[in-house]
Amino acid sequence: MQVNNVEIEDTFAEAFSMQAARLTVTAGSEKWARHAALAATGFATSVIGCGVEAGIEGPAPNTPDGRPGLDCLFFGMSRDSLEQHLLNRIGQAIMTAPTSACFDGGLPECSNPGTLKIGGKIRYFGDGYQASKIINGRRYWRIPVMEGEFLIHEAFEVSEAVGGGNFLILAETADAALGAAEAAVEAMSAVRGVILPFPGGIVRSGSQVGSQYSFLKASTNIAFCPTLRGRVQKTVLPRGVNSVLEIVIDGLTAEKIGEATRVGILAACVPGVVRITAGNYGGRLGKYHFHLRRLLG
């Protein structure tokens, strides 16, 4: 299969179950909502090294307080892990931002979400002076802070979600790879319910499982490294490919990841790109498989 003279490899991305939550971060201005959201979703590229994967999904279409807001998605390997990271990030990065408030963004895309008592734990920062208010059946916590008051929902929805969707862009030059990846990220940013957790949505240093060093669980993906093509027997790089970038996708549902993958690949099929492929573990580990050619129809 070819799209705009770019080969689409007959392969699939292998992705895994994760737990996800959506936070709506509001503030007195978009500037401060963005400061809070960026701080809360920073250093959250991979659960392996960061414990959680997170990103800004986009502007919040509706905010409970009518102020500017951003929706942020967080993905963890378990409910307990996700809860702990949310507590840390809300407490250290959102609550600390001037004028901020934090609301449960809800997970209407997911069936039967559970809840995590996040605000119900953050409230203790109020040192006994916190107060709650129930409005339309939802409990909010009002936490006194130096600037005034921090407002947070007591409970946040959490649900099973999907992490690790991916595709790789094999290009003639580094510039071509980056241009294609940027175009893909821009197209994928319109798909709600997904985030691209790596910097700018792009991975320059994709990894392989294991290493010749016993102390490493993962190492550089030697099969895709262009500077190792001559030395590595398992290289998968065709002639003419001199740079590879990867895009990793976490989403609330497999359908969302499939849609994001589809629009991303279509946007990345530009001159200078040789092939699009994906990473998997032979299909033996991940619950979700995203076949590239099927997604593109």
Binding site for other proteins (CB under 8 A): 64-67, 101, 131-136, 140, 142, 148-151
Task: Closer to other proteins by CB, 150 or 198: give it.
Answer: 150
- If you search the block for the tokens 């689409």, which residue do you land on? 8
Q: Which residues contact 219 (CB under 8 A, 6 or more apart)?
A: 207, 208, 210, 211, 212, 213
Task: Closer to other proteins by CB, 55 or 105: give it.
Answer: 105
Q: How far is the CB of 28 from other proteins (least distance, A)?
A: 9
Task: Closer to other proteins by CB, 76 or 91: give it.
Answer: 91
Task: Closer to other proteins by CB, 131 or 216: give it.
Answer: 131
Q: How far is the CB of 290 from other proteins (least distance, A)?
A: 38
Q: Is 200 left (phi over 0), alpha (psi -120 to 50) or beta?
A: left
Task: Closer to other proteins by CB, 124 or 281: give it.
Answer: 124
Q: How far is the CB of 67 from other proteins (least distance, A)?
A: 7
Task: Closer to other proteins by CB, 142 or 275: give it.
Answer: 142
Q: How far is the CB of 143 from other proteins (least distance, A)?
A: 10
Closest CA to 200 of 190, 213, 180, 186: 186
Q: Is 175 left (phi over 0), alpha (psi -120 to 50) or beta?
A: alpha
Both structure tokens of 285: 């580990």
Instruction: Give the span between the Cα atoms of 236 and 222, in whole angstroms.
Output: 9
Q: How far is the CB of 154 from other proteins (least distance, A)?
A: 13
Task: Closer to other proteins by CB, 155 or 254: give it.
Answer: 155
Q: How far is the CB of 36 from other proteins (least distance, A)?
A: 14
Q: How far is the CB of 58 from other proteins (least distance, A)?
A: 22
Q: How far is the CB of 103 from other proteins (least distance, A)?
A: 9
Task: Closer to other proteins by CB, 150 or 290: give it.
Answer: 150
